[in-house]
Structure 1
């Protein structure tokens, strides 16, 4: 091949590369517009509003960090943080334990596996819906199914579980635990990736079922556990629908189900204090970011990869 032919070949390749880049940019354009207009733009707008006094009608009035100072002197906000942290750090571990236990059972190759997998996954699709939250009120109400069932065994004059401050949050925690299907499916996929030769070698060495679980299953499954922990923590901090419907939007009784997101909603759309609500949203963002970062940093001590 002559020098001129090589030059033409190089130019043709560069021209083809430019056309490919333009095509790639064209296909990425809807996503880029979505990021700018739907995600990045509103986030920057809310950051600006968090430093203002804004009620949706008047022009935003810049007030500096007053909204952030106000948050630390707001007892209802501090209570909502307590309720949210209790909900997250109680419901998420229990949900993941239940999900892992169900995945271990389904991993045994039982009959009608697709059917059971679908049945267990269904609550994850419905658990955060308005219909299920309304059903939860009927189940745990004063004359609900739970009290009717307990009445059959001689237990009467029981409280309405969702109307008693001592038990109301527990019913919402139970609702979140019930939606264990999504992490269960991920656990099941991870279990299928563990080679059988490890279990066979451990059995030959005399390791029992519990020891095989602790020394093989958990370490090999730790990246999947880490993934599920991150997803469920972020999702739990953002929970809203369950508390809103079960409490009737009040966060009651006695603010026992006042999730942080519910209080944020009340400030933004009931009180029309959008500046304060925006500051609350950024505080939630910072809390989730810190907890996620801590989880990533500590993962090096308990997450094990093949390499």
Structure 2
């Protein structure tokens, strides 16, 4: 029995040595690759995963940046879901913004992409011009410009008065209109989905349209029976990406409302409320809980989107 145990022990040590030797050979063989991956690994663990795990811990604490975190369990989440009226207001504003801005942006992007797909001179120049707002739209400068355009004495009201004789309101100071100015700003940034739609349209065989036209199908029927079904993977991709971006919108609301989310919380985006809690009131634990609720909301939306995609997204097969 002792001999059997000694043999098993020797076999175990030999197996461990072989494993270490195999690991060492793999490491030596791929050393160059790991060296090139090192910046990404440092960024992922140091700037993404590490802070995410730290915020998850802080979401169960009271923390104000000055004192050590005080563990409170799920108290932050309970307060958010049961005793925080501003959370409800932020959710309502954010969901309204998402529901309005994403479909309008995608519809406008698809319309422009189809116009470009017809083949026009200077397509590269026009494509760059229409894409430019997507690069600049999230900047502080554009948000400031938008605030000036829709002020009571801004260019929009001047144009309404000169053309129609209509005296417009102060769009950004009126709670009935403030959110819609931000929706319009989002729709104006349609360049990114437009480029993707244009690439998808270029992949649809032209002979399908020719055959449909020979069978007497008009432009509208061709659009709904050929273009839309074959473009559903691109529509699905754009819808998911743009919805996630809409949930994360922050800069326009922060600049136009001057960080208050006003008037009367009409532009209180969820991310703006999170910012107020974190850097306005220094309730970092509470803000971390808000951030993780947003992560859960986006994750659930993405999961349900992929589950529902099987019923309306058509791939080549």
TM-score band, normalised by shorter chain: over 0.9
Q: What is the CA–CA distance in structure 1 between the aligned matches of 2:304 and 2:106, rounded to whole Å? A: 19
Structural mapping, 1:240-279, within 5 Å? 240-279=250-289
Match of 1:306, SS state, is coil
| Cα RMSD after superposing both structures | 1.5
2:54 to 42, 45, 63: 45
- Specify the alignment match of 2:30 in structure 1: 21
Once the 2 structures are TM-superposed, how far is the Cα of residue 54 of structure 1 from its aligned partner? 0.2
User: Which residue in 1 is equivalent to 2:241?
Assistant: 231
- Extract unaligned runs of 5+ from structure 1: 1-13
- Shift of residue 32, structure 1, vs aligned partner: 1.3
Contact 2:160–2:167 at 8 Å: present in 1 too?
Answer: no
Aligned partner of residue 163 in structure 1, secondary structure: coil
Looking at structure 2, the residues matched to 15 and 137 of structure 1 have their Cα atoms a distance apart, in angstroms, of 60
Counterparts of 2:277 and 2:148 in 1: how far apart (Å)? 28
Q: What is the distance in 2 between the residues matched to 1:17 and 1:158?
A: 70
Alpha-carbon distance in structure 2 between the residues aligned to 1:237 and 1:45: 22
Q: CA deviation at 1:221?
A: 0.8
Structure 1 distance, partners of 2:224, 2:37, is 45
TM value normalised by structure 1: 0.93
Deviations 1:147-183 (A, max 9, x none): 1011113534431000000000000000000000000
Other-structure match for 2:230: 220
Q: 2:196 aligns with which of 186, 189, 194?
A: 186
Cα separation, partners in 2 of 1:16 and 1:61, compared to 1, 3 Å: closer
Q: How does 1:77-226 map to 2 (within 5 A)?
A: 77-226=87-236
Larger Rg: 2
Q: Point out where structure 2 has 5 or more consecutive residues left out of the alignment.
A: 1-22
Q: How far does the alpha carbon of each residue in 1:195-216 deviate from its partner, in whole angstroms, 9 at most, with x for none?
A: 1121111112211111111111
Equivalenced residues, count: 294
The answer to whether residue 64 in structure 2 is matched with residue 55 in structure 1 is yes
Q: TM-score, normalised by structure 2?
A: 0.90
For the structure 1 residues 154 and 111, does the alpha-carbon distance in structure 2 shift closer, same or farther, using more than 3 Å as the test? Answer: closer
Distance 1:167 1:33 in 2: 45
Would you say 1:68 and 2:77 are equivalent positions? yes
Structure 1 stretch displaced more, 231-240 or 17-26 = 17-26
Please point out which of 33, 44, 51 is paired with 2:42: 33
Secondary structure at 1:26's aligned position in 2? helix
